[in-house]
Each structure stands twice: as structure tokens, then as C-alpha cells.
Amino acid sequence: MLTISRIRETMLRVEDLHVSIGGSRILRGVTFHVPKNSIFCIMGRNGVGKTTTLKTLLGLYRPTSGRIVFKDQDITHFLPEQRARLGIGYVPQGRCIFPHLTVQENLLIGAIAQGKSFQHTLKRIHSLFPILYDFRNRKGGMLSGGQQQQLAIARALMTDPDLLVLDEPTEGIQPNIIDQIGDTIKLLQRGSHHDEIGLLTQISSLIKKQRATAQAHLVDSLDELHQLVISLERSYPQTKREDYLHLAQLFAQVRSLCPSDGSSLGEQIAEAIAKLHAEKRVTILLVEQYLDFCREIADQFAILDRGTVAAKGHITSLTDQIIKDYLAV
């Protein structure tokens, strides 16, 4: 088996997992680790055990042997609802929304069932998927396939998961919705604000106002800060959480040059920068056959073949030869 590993804190560990269904062995020693705050993609041809792996992780199938460890807790024998309460959200293949409930009812049912507060999450979801707010009183069955997929993802997010599991999220979806889903997954993974561009534009404007009245020894530092904000705007949506943390550190250094500056503008800039990376980060595990989508959003991958892991590692180690051997039809 081909593998390239990097040491990071782990959200999920799957160790030597064996699963049989109806007397047939489906999984044969599946092992992989999902790093915390990563996007991990499971790939493979049809019938190799991808969906079985996810359903076993969720407790829908019982393994004959092996271990599943989530947030350092062995959940191998936990019931599905116990796993959900621990922080695993699930978006099934085919979406499985409630067609006779409204969009709003579909969203609220998961959060209410778990007894969780949902006002902030609901507001964030409406910002991520504005169509769900526009159609909040429409029956779920009246939505298009792409809109139903957005609803299924949003419904899982309403449970406030630490790990979001998605099974074939791009299946049967039009390209513009696929792009939006990909951007949303990356935003969730880095814990970013739903209106990053709007915040960066606001920060840029505030810095220019600050510069106009700044003391002479601060001007060069504010110019450097402004150029960084512009570069982040230009690189969006490829910006990373570390970029925003660097921006926050640089602004803190600028403010330290003038400790007496408690101006309203300074506070507004600090608040806007903090919002860029203030949301909860979500680890993403998805099964996906759309190769370009995986390469675009994933950090790590594992390829299943005949119920075992044939290759895994950082997404940059996914070579043409591996694709030919295990993914090409």
C-alpha cells in the first residue's frame, strides 16, 4: 500500500476495520486517520466499500473486528444517536431530506432533537446558503436537486458537528452548485466568516481612514497592513486560516507601536479581523468520485480497492499512476 503521512492531531481513527454484510466480506482491514481540521476524501471505483465505510463509522453497520476512535474515545460499539451527540454530522447519498416538511422545519428538526441552541447557526446557514432563507417556507420536496443538497448539508450543520461526513455531495448536482458546496466546505474547515470578502473590504477601508490621521511613525506599518489585506482579497477563496491569523498578529504589532491608541477605528479593525477566523472549525470526511473536486478541496485522501485501503496520503501525493491503477474505469 502506498502512503505518505504527516503528524497532526487526529479527529478520527479507523483501525483494521472488517465488516461483513449478509455473509459477504465487504471491508477487509480498512485503516486510516483523519487529522483534526482537515478535509479528508475517500475515493474508489463503484462497489469497493466506500459507503459501507461511512455507514460503519456512523453505527449503521456493526464491524466484525477493528476499532473506530473519535476525539480519542472508542465509539466502535456506540449507537448512531450516541455518535451524533458526540459531534458527528451526516449528509447521506441521495440527500434524504424530509419532502413534506418545509425547508425551515428540515433545518430545525436536528437541532431541536439534540436540544441545542440554533439561532447563531441558523443565521450562519442562511448566509452560507441564501436560497434556503428565500425558500424557508417551501416544502423540501419542491426544491431542485442542488437546493436539496444544500439543505441536507445545512441540516447536518444545525447539529453543530465537529466532524461532518458527506457521501457523494456532488452527485447529480449542476456545476455552479458544486462550486458553492466546495467553497462552503473549505470555509467550514478553516472556521472563516461567511462574508470574508465583505469583511476584508471593510478592513481595507478602515485602515485607509486610520492612516489618514495616524502618527508619522505608523504610516509605513499601516501601508504594509493594507497591502496584506489587498493580497488576501485577491487570493480569495484560496486564503487560509493562517493568513488571517498573520493579519491579526501584524495589526497587533501596529497597535503596540502606539499603546495609547484606543480609537474607535482601531477597535473596529480589530473586531473585523477577529471575525475572519472566529467561527468553529469543522473536520470534513467525504466520499467522492469527482476527482477534480477532491483535488481542489481535500488535504488528505484514501483510496479503497476491494474493501481495503490501496493508497493514502496528502492530496499532492495522488499521482497519475495511482489514478490509473485504482480510479480509472
Domains of the chain, residue spans: 1-87+164-181+280-329, 97-160, 196-275
Domain 1-87+164-181+280-329: CATH architecture, name and number where available: 3-Layer(aba) Sandwich (3.40)
- H helices present in 173-280, as ranges: 175-190, 196-212, 219-235, 241-256, 264-275
pLDDT score at 111: 80
- Side chain identity, residue 243: D
Residue 67: beta bridge partners? 15
pLDDT score at 37: 95
In eight-state DSSP terms, residue 89 is: E
Residue 5 pLDDT exceeds 50? no
The answer to whether residues 61 and 77 touch, using CB atoms and an 8 Å cutoff, is: no
**Tens digit of each residue's pLDDT (9 = 90 or more) over 46-80:** 999 999 999 999 999 999 999 999 999 999 999 99
d(CA 186, CA 164): 12
Q: 39, 28, 20: which is closest to 1 by C-alpha?
A: 28
d(CA 289, CA 31): 20
**Tens digit of each residue's pLDDT (9 = 90 or more) over 154-183:** 999 999 999 999 999 999 899 999 999 999
Residue 89: beta bridge partners? 164
Other residues' Cβ atoms within 10 Å of the Cβ of residue 217 = 9
Vertex 192: Cα angle to 189 and 196 (nearest 5):
135
Question: Mean pLDDT throughout 205-219?
Answer: 90
- Side chain identity, residue 210: Q
Residue 259 pLDDT exceeds 70? no
d(CA 216, CA 219): 6
pLDDT score at 162: 97
Q: What is the pTM of this model?
A: 0.87
Taking each helix axis from N to C terminus, what angle separates 145-157 and 175-190, rounded to the nearest 10 degrees?
A: 10
Residue 73: beta bridge partners? 70
- Element housing 124 (H / E): helix 119-128
> What's the mean pLDDT when you consider all of the chain?
91
Residue 2 pLDDT exceeds 70? no
**Tens digit of each residue's pLDDT (9 = 90 or more) over 68-114:** 999 999 999 999 999 999 999 999 998 899 999 999 999 998 788 77
Q: In sequence order, which residues have a C-beta less than 8 Å from that of residue 167 and are 6 or more positions away? A: 50, 51, 54, 90, 91, 92, 93, 286, 287
**Tens digit of each residue's pLDDT (9 = 90 or more) over 130-150:** 999 999 999 999 999 999 999
- φ/ψ region of 96 (left if φ > 0, alpha if ψ in -120 to 50, else beta) reads left
Q: In sequence order, which residues have a C-beta less than 8 Å from that of residue 250 and are 6 or more positions away? A: 224, 225, 228
Set of cell numbers at residue 100: 413534506
Question: Mean pLDDT throughout 185-209?
Answer: 92
pLDDT band for 262, please (50, 70, 90 cuts). Answer: low
Residue 7 pLDDT exceeds 60? no
What are the angstrom distances between the C-alpha of 260 and each of 17, 90, 116, 139, 257? 60, 50, 42, 56, 9
pLDDT score at 149: 95
pLDDT score at 1: 52
Q: What secondary structure, in 3-state letters, does 265-288 show? A: HHHHHHHHHHHCCCCCCCEEEEEC
Set of cell numbers at residue 148: 436539496
Compute the residue count for the chain. Answer: 329
**Tens digit of each residue's pLDDT (9 = 90 or more) over 216-239:** 888 999 999 999 999 999 988 788
